[in-house]
Amino acid sequence: MPGVSPDAVPADRIHALDHLRALAMLAGVLFHAALAYSPLLAPVWPPADRQTWWGVDALIWLPHLVRMPLFFLIAGYFTASLLERRGMGGLARQRARRILLPFLVAWPLVDGSLALATEWAASAVTQSSPMLRLIRDWLALPDPPGLPPRTGHLWFLYYLLLFGVVLWAVRALGWGGGLARLMARGPQAVAGLLPLVLWPGFMATGSPHPAPESLLPEAWALAVFGPFYALGLGLHGRLDWLTPLRPWLKPAAALCLGLYAVLLDHWTTDATVARTAWATALLEALIAAWGTLLALALGLRWLARPSPLLRYLSASAYWTYLVHLPLLFALQYPMMDLGWPWPLKFATAVSATTALCLLSYELLVRRTPLQRFVG
Amino acid sequence: MNLNRPVIRLLILKDWQLFEKQLAAYVLAGLGALTLLGLARPWAFYLGSLALIVVVVAAACFAISNSLLVERKEQTLAFVMSLPVSPLDFTISKLLGNLLTFGVPFCVLLLGTLVVILSTPLPDGLVILATLLFGHILLAYSVSLAVAMQVESEGWNTFAMIGSMVLVNPFLMALGQIESIQGPIRQDAIAWSLPAALILGAQLLVSVVVLVHTAWWHGRKAAFY
């Protein structure tokens, strides 16, 4: 994932954040691959398989509620690092090179390849998902209406750009002191306040929250991911700020699991289209806030030692992020008609996608000029 | 034509730094307006559209007022005259500085408006109306900028700014009377009719001519006064 780049990391590299990023990216590949077997997403996910298992939903949504906030938090942290070393002009140039340009180049390629694979699947796959059937009917129309442009899974880059603009505006207006004052209240106060800040954002969207793929800024996404980006900015240079939370790690983990059990109970298969009830939104806000802080604290504690493997995965994370979904769809569509048990399909899709991502990173990015942009 | 590029760059940078705070507020307001539009509710759409127009008009007026009229009042020119710059250098820096400080929010909001139209159920034909509307604001801005650079009277400058911007209303009404423009904007395809293309072309051409003429007129001057 972007937001962290080799040139964004200071000499005294914080391995834990690199490693967290690598694991969060791997969790992303697992998440997207598992959606094909999720009963909750079966009506709307194009490569949804005919075999589903409730346990998939139980396993994937908790990490997902934590994964994206964690990415934004890490991105905010390294943005602050870049800002300190290069100033706003240098940060803007770096963001243009590492986020805007890759976004503009990758967007049509990723969108086109996903559309191509889905159109092929709509006509070729016999064991279609409900969404593929819908697409097939839509394609069969004599003059199918065009779909509005959307960012797809590259929405993360789009929001990083938006948050970059907001950061510049907030600094220009001299409002940066608010974050420092908030951080000065200590981690317990921030941990207590964070869910309340996130709550309205989760209430304003469906549950589980969709990807904010619209080209218009989506208020709920700004409200949910913005605070984590800001927290990352505030944490820069003082990760020990989290130390007072250590005694709370075990109770927080237990609480998150308990809250997640209640959240799973709240969800029904048609919940994705309904407005979130306040209680469900509160559960999501609590899990996202405390789960992310917990993941960060655990990462800083257990992932601080250098690891060549995780370092490599971290370096390839941005490229993996860009290409994994088209590869995954291209692999999962043909598998929909196979009679294999779903765990085998899942394992094949994950291992093949990861292998292809890493192979293409090795061949196309690692030792080429692309390294400066997406390495 | 020998231009003192480093000083021009510094003068533009000075205008940018002086205007950065307001520009940041306009960009934030513009993002807020676009977020309102993204809510996809009728009230949010009307509020967001109105906010977008207010922001872009305010940005246009503020850029001119801040960098030319206020500076004139505060007699900044006397200081600039002490620098190694010619009247042409100063004119170019003012023109480019203004185009930059106005151009950033203008482009962001134009792009945002087009995204709104293309990514919502609104008919795509509205792209034509929106482009002509932004074309009018660009023209009004160029005329106001030219007047501000050539005329010292605060009254005339205020009249030029407010008058040209307020003309957006009769301009929209006039567009509503042209069937070849009014018809396509209700359709889901972007079909530029000849009158629409001619109006847009005229807006862009007049904007450029006005700005080039202003630069040329000032460039001929041997002294600041």
Q: Which residues of A touch B115 (CB under 8 A)?
A: 149, 215-216
Instruction: Give the DSSP letter string of B74-123.
Output: TTHHHHHHTSS--HHHHHHHHHHHHHHHHHHHHHHHHHHHHHHHHHSSS-
Do A173 and B28 make contact, defined as CB atoms within 8 angstroms?
Answer: yes
Is B116 an interface residue toward A (CB < 8 Å)?
Answer: yes
pLDDT at B93: 87
Q: What is the pLDDT of residues B120-132, one digit of tens each?
A: 777 888 899 999 9
- Cβ-contact A209, A220 below 8 angstroms: yes
Tokens (6 digits) for B16: 């940018």
Domain that holds residue B50: 5-219
Distance separating alpha carbons of residues A260 and A276, to the nearest angstrom: 15
Q: Which of B31, B36, B188 to mutate to test the interface with A (most CBs of A within 10 A)?
A: B31
Residue B177 distance to chain A (closest CA, Å): 29
Q: Which residues of A touch B120 (CB under 8 A)?
A: 148, 216
Q: Which residues of A touch B119 (CB under 8 A)?
A: 148-150, 214-216
pLDDT at A6: 44
Is B188 an interface residue toward A (CB < 8 Å)?
Answer: yes
Is B111 an interface residue toward A (CB < 8 Å)?
Answer: no
- Rg of chain A taking only CA atoms, in angstroms: 20
Helix/strand/coil (H/E/C) assignment for every residue in chain A: CCCCCHHHCCCCCCHHHHHHHHHHHHHHHHHHHHHHHCCCCCCCCCCCCCCCCHHHHHHHHHHHHHHHHHHHHHHHHHHHHHHHHHHHHHHHHHHHHHHHHHHHHHHHHHHHHHHHHHHHHHHHCCCCCHHHHHHHHHHHCCCCCCCCCECHHHHHHHHHHHHHHHHHHHHHCCCCHHHHHHHHCCHHHHHHHHHHHHHHHHHCCCCCCCCCCECCCCHHHHHHHHHHHHHHHHHCCCHHHHHHHHHHHHHHHHHHHHHHHHHHHHCCCCHHHCCCCHHHHHHHHHHHHHHHHHHHHHHHHHCCCCCHHHHHHHHCHHHHHHHHHHHHHHHHHHHCCCCCCHHHHHHHHHHHHHHHHHHHHHHHHCCCCCHHHHC
Is A147 an interface residue toward B (CB < 8 Å)?
Answer: no
Distance separating alpha carbons of residues A311 and A13, to the nearest angstrom: 11
Residue A214 distance to chain B (closest CA, Å): 7
Q: Which amino acid is at A60?
A: I
Do B119 and A170 make contact, defined as CB atoms within 8 angstroms?
Answer: no
Is B115 an interface residue toward A (CB < 8 Å)?
Answer: yes
Q: Which of B9, B35, B43 to mutate to test the interface with A (most CBs of A within 10 A)?
A: B35
Which residue does chain A place closest to B16, by CA atoms?
A: A172
Distance separating alpha carbons of residues A223 and A284, to the nearest angstrom: 13
DSSP B192: -
Do A169 and B24 make contact, defined as CB atoms within 8 angstroms?
Answer: yes
Q: Which of A147, A150, A159, A215 to mutate to test the interface with B (most CBs of B within 10 A)?
A: A215
Domain spans, chain A: 6-137+167-374
Distance separating alpha carbons of residues B20 and A172, to the nearest angstrom: 6
Tokens (6 digits) for B64: 């001119």
Which of A169, A174, A218 is closest, CB to CB, to B38? A218
Burial class (CB in 10 A: 0-12, 13-18, 19+), A48: buried
pLDDT at B225: 54
DSSP B222: S
* Ordered alpha helix ranges (H), chain B: 5-38, 42-64, 70-73, 76-81, 87-119, 126-150, 154-166, 168-177, 179-182, 194-219
Which of A171, A172, A215 is closest, CB to CB, to B115? A215
Do A172 and B116 make contact, defined as CB atoms within 8 angstroms?
Answer: no
Q: Which residues of A touch B38 (CB under 8 A)?
A: 214, 216-219
pLDDT at A101: 96
Counting one residue from chain A and one from chain B, the pairs whose CB atoms sit within 8 A come to 53
- Cβ-contact A62, A269 below 8 angstroms: no
Per the listing, tokens 């990462």 go with A299
Domain tally for chain B?
A: 1
Distance separating alpha carbons of residues A290 and A284, to the nearest angstrom: 10
Q: Is residue B204 part of a domain?
A: yes
Q: Which residues of B touch A149 (CB under 8 A)?
A: 115, 118-119
Tokens (6 digits) for A315: 């370096």
CA torsion through residues A129, A134, A140, A145, sign = negative
Which residue does chain B place closest to A223, by CA atoms?
A: B35
Rounded average pLDDT per 10-residue block, chain A, 375 residues? 49 83 94 96 95 94 95 96 94 95 95 94 94 93 80 95 95 91 93 96 91 91 97 93 91 94 78 65 96 95 92 95 97 96 97 97 95 91
Do A216 and B34 make contact, defined as CB atoms within 8 angstroms?
Answer: yes
Is B107 an interface residue toward A (CB < 8 Å)?
Answer: no
Q: Is residue B80 part of a domain?
A: yes
Q: Is residue B66 part of a domain?
A: yes
- Cβ-contact A282, A114 below 8 angstroms: no
Name the residue with higher pLDDT: A193 or B65.
Answer: A193
Distance separating alpha carbons of residues A304 and A314, to the nearest angstrom: 14
CA dihedral angle for residue A69, residue A281, residue A32, residue A159, rounded to 10 degrees: -40
Is B112 an interface residue toward A (CB < 8 Å)?
Answer: yes
pLDDT at B42: 83
Distance separating alpha carbons of residues A220 and B173, to the nearest angstrom: 37
Residue whose C-alpha is closest to residue B29's, from B65, B60, B55: B55
CA atoms within 13 A on the CB side of A283: 21
Which of B27, B35, B118 is closest, CB to CB, to A169? B27
pLDDT at B135: 95
Residue A216 distance to chain B (closest CA, Å): 5
In chain A, positions 202-261, which contact chain B (CB-CB < 8 Å)?
Answer: 214-219, 222
pLDDT at A273: 47
- Cβ-contact A45, A36 below 8 angstroms: yes
DSSP B67: I
Most confident of A294-303, B12-21, B75-84, B176-185: A294-303
Burial class (CB in 10 A: 0-12, 13-18, 19+), A316: buried
Do A219 and B39 make contact, defined as CB atoms within 8 angstroms?
Answer: yes
pLDDT at A9: 46
Which of B27, B35, B115 is closest, CB to CB, to A165? B27
pLDDT at A10: 52
For chain B, the distance separating the N- and C-terminal CA atoms, rounded to the nearest angstrom, is 20
